[in-house]
Amino acid sequence: MAEVTLQRVAKSFGRVQALYPLDLSIRDGEFVALLGPSGCGKTTTLNLIAGLEAVSAGTITIGGRDVTRVAAMEREIAMVFQSYALYPHMTVARNLGFALAVRRMPADQIAARVRRAAGVLDLLPYLDRYPRQLSGGQRQRVALGRALVRDPKVFLLDEPLSNLDAVLRLQTRAEIVRLFRSLGTTAVYVTHDQAEAMTMADRIAVFSAGRLLQFAAPLEVYLAPANRFVAGFIGAPPMQFADVVAAPDGVRFGGMTLPCAVPRPPGTALVLGLRPETVELGPAGRGLPAVVDLVEHLGGLQIVYLRCGAATLAAQTGAALRYRPGERLGITVEPSAAYLFDPGSGATLAAPGLSRP
């Protein structure tokens, strides 16, 4: 167990700046998700912590020890790769015990550790099989087990669930959360799936284009996003945006006024953000007029996309009521649910999480 600290860590490949100077302080035993679209720098960050890439600048410490120039194999970390990277020519048991064998641990101790890890991961019946004889879920568990037996200071996981089908992914997600809660070991988890990050992580680090945008607890990232990108990336269905102008009593768009607190003088151009779950649908004439554009049924709930003036908004409601495209409705929004962003920098000006005392 150990805390992981990155100080002014940057990485460039030739002239391409993959990661701008970054400060990240991960606490002992914390489960941190690095979240962002592909190419945002999250995997680069993970590889830097692992020692698979050398930093271009900055310092990395693990458990108080400066490991910036320490070889990957001596950093006492274990990594689970997206492709699992199992050794195809070794049985499950040998795959699990390989790292211990390399470190010259006595065979009986290796066997004991392998059995313990295999027990935790339900792999005991498969110890003599080869990776090619396993299902995708079983291979994924072997990859996890290979990290577990090492008893490392830090676990690094690179999108370990992305090769699983949807049902198995949800199931494994819960299993991994349970496993890491019981281990209490520091873990860094790279994902592009905001739902994985929200449900699994103690804190989420959101990346975009090589920059860390926000590092906070899931609900904080959700309620008080640092900027428009984070607001749009976290939450499903995603937040919808509209160009608006500040007015004394709210924001104006398309001749309508949405009442809310505006921290800018009237006439300033702003971007309004509304989360679909905060948009209430009602009969036409109540609130802002809107026309149903598209309806997505998700079983227990539905997402209704609406045209409201020049803007497209979305509302998430229960499945009880039926809406048809072209139908005229009225929408209402709690003033406190409105997010406001600077149209130039994208910085958050107002958010429910910010206005709280």
Q: Which residue is it, tokens 């009593």?
A: 249
- Report the alpha-carbon distance of residue 103 to residue 91 in Å, rounded: 19
- Structure token pair of residue 332: 């209402």
Task: Compose the 88-107 pattern: x for residues touching another protein by CB under 8 A, - for all others.
Answer: xx--------xx--xx----
Strand order of the β-sheet with 328-333 is: 279-283, 328-333, 288-297, 301-308, 311-318
The yes or no reply on residue 15 touching another protein (CB under 8 A) is no
Task: Compose the 148-167 pattern: x for residues touching another protein by CB under 8 A, - for all others.
Answer: --x-----------------
- Helix axis angle for 136-148 and 92-102, nearest 10°, is 20
The yes or no reply on residue 87 touching another protein (CB under 8 A) is yes
Q: Which residue is it, tokens 């065979």?
A: 107
Residue 8, strand partner residues: none
Determine the interface stretch with another protein among 84-92, 168-176, 241-249, 340-348 (rule: CB under 8 A): 84-92
Do 317 and 239 form a contact (C-beta atoms < 8 A)? Answer: no
- Of 142 and 313, which CB lies nearer to another protein in the complex structure? 142
- Of 150 and 228, which CB lies nearer to another protein in the complex structure? 150
Q: Smallest distance from the beta carbon of 90 to another protein, in angstroms?
A: 9
Q: Which of residues 129-148 bind another protein (CB under 8 A)?
A: 132, 146
**Quick one: 166 exposed, middle or buried, by C-beta within 10 A (0-12, 13-18, 19+)?**
exposed
Helix (H) or strand (E) holding 214: strand 211-216
Q: Smallest distance from the beta carbon of 131 to another protein, in angstroms?
A: 10
Compute how many residues bind another protein; rule: CB under 8 A.
Answer: 22
Distances (CA, A) of 110 to 1, 115, 212, 258, 295: 21, 9, 40, 65, 56
Q: Which of 17, 52, 168, 183 binds another protein (CB under 8 A)?
A: 52
Task: Compose the 62-81 pattern: x for residues touching another protein by CB under 8 A, - for all others.
Answer: ----------xx---xxx-x
Task: Compose the 236-275 pattern: x for residues touching another protein by CB under 8 A, - for all others.
Answer: ----------------------------------------
Residues that bind another protein (CB under 8 A): 50, 52, 72-73, 77-79, 81-83, 85-89, 98-99, 102-103, 132, 146, 150
